[in-house]
Amino acid sequence: MYGRPWIMVTLVVGLALASRAAAAEELIRLPTRPGVTQPYWLVAPAGAPVASVILFTGGNGLLGSQNRPILKGMNFLVRSRDRFAAQGFLVAVVDAPSDHLSGLDDFRASEDHARDIAAVIADLRRRAAVPVWLVGTSMGTISAANAAARLKQGGADGLVLTSTILAASRRVAPLASVVDVAAITAPTIVVHNREDACPLCPFALVDPFMAKLEHAARKQLIAVSGGDPPLSDPCEAQSRHGYLGIEDEVVGDIGRAIKLGG
């Protein structure tokens, strides 16, 4: 849809993993819009990938690739990237584009953001002829859903929303009020912790949200419970909201659902 950009690989680093062998990560910078580059971290599985996943962190969306190219963050998806690779997925962890170095904020629901993600999707398809799924968590669900709703050509094959933003605060609007979720046609998996104590993500609002996904080819709810005692605010990553202590279970559930096509 937007052409095939040239790829600029800027760095290869080693990721030391306590429970697994080290996995190589590449920092890729894709030219997208005029004068703009979209960085993402690529993590490859040990063998041929069964699918590709694009992971969208929560919060302000910044992962540190611009000034200090070291992938960092305690976000559920960021700290679980090796788990997805171990499931056989080619993993892309997207950072903010070069024109949003202060954070994504309202940009998450924009057409330009979807255009940048279209370039990442195309690059992953060039690397492996397998399905591409968008996976967002917390504020990252807005980025993932926005790309799924807007990209009718060159879009992803499926969507996973974990700890979806379902309620409003003074600074945050719920996903369904900023993204046209009825425009999402891809298979959609919604993952939520029944005990999520973040006021933006009450489990009671999951079913009403799923009813709005009226045109998704298929939709599935994966409801989990429990986790380790929280080490952070209820809306931060080291809590039930971020699946602390049950990462293997949740990534395993997501992986199986993606492999079954949602």
Q: How far apart are CA 27 and CA 218, in angstroms?
A: 33
Confidence of residue 67 (pLDDT cuts 50, 70, 90): low
When mean pLDDT is compared across 6-15, 26-35, 80-89, 219-228, the lowest value belongs to 6-15
Kindly list the distances between the CA atom of residue 188 and the CA atoms of 127, 144, 165, 223, 225, in Å, as whole numbers in the listed order. Answer: 24, 11, 15, 14, 20
* Structure token digits, residue 108: 């998450």
Task: Judge whether 132 and 124 are in contact, CB under 8 Å.
Answer: yes
Confidence of residue 155 (pLDDT cuts 50, 70, 90): very high
User: What average pLDDT does the chain have?
Assistant: 90
**pLDDT at residue 198 is higher than 60:** yes
Fold of 8-259: Rossmann fold (3.40.50)
Can you give the pLDDT at residue 242? 93
Task: Judge whether 229 and 126 are in contact, CB under 8 Å.
Answer: no
**Burial class (CB within 10 angstroms; exposed 0-12, middle 13-18, buried 19+) of 247:** middle
Share of the chain above pLDDT 90, in %: 81
Instruction: Name the pTM for this structure.
Output: 0.90
**pLDDT at residue 7 is higher than 60:** no
- Domain ranges in the chain are 8-259
**pLDDT at residue 3 is higher than 50:** no
Summarize pLDDT for 104-131 with one digit per residue, the tens: 999 999 999 999 999 999 999 999 999 9
Which has more pLDDT, 163 or 14? 163
Kindly list the distances between the CA atom of residue 248 and the CA atoms of 19, 130, 144, in Å, as whole numbers in the listed order. Answer: 12, 23, 22
Mean pLDDT for 167-176 is 93
Summarize pLDDT for 16-43 with one digit per residue, the tens: 333 344 457 899 999 999 999 999 999 9
Can you give the pLDDT at residue 69? 60
Task: Please name the residues in contact with 179: beta carbons below 8 A apart, sequence gap of 6 or more.
Answer: 109, 142, 145, 146, 149
Task: Judge whether 69 and 10 are in contact, CB under 8 Å.
Answer: yes
- Which amino acid appears at position 124 of this protein? L
Can you give the pLDDT at residue 8? 38
Can you give the pLDDT at residue 15? 31
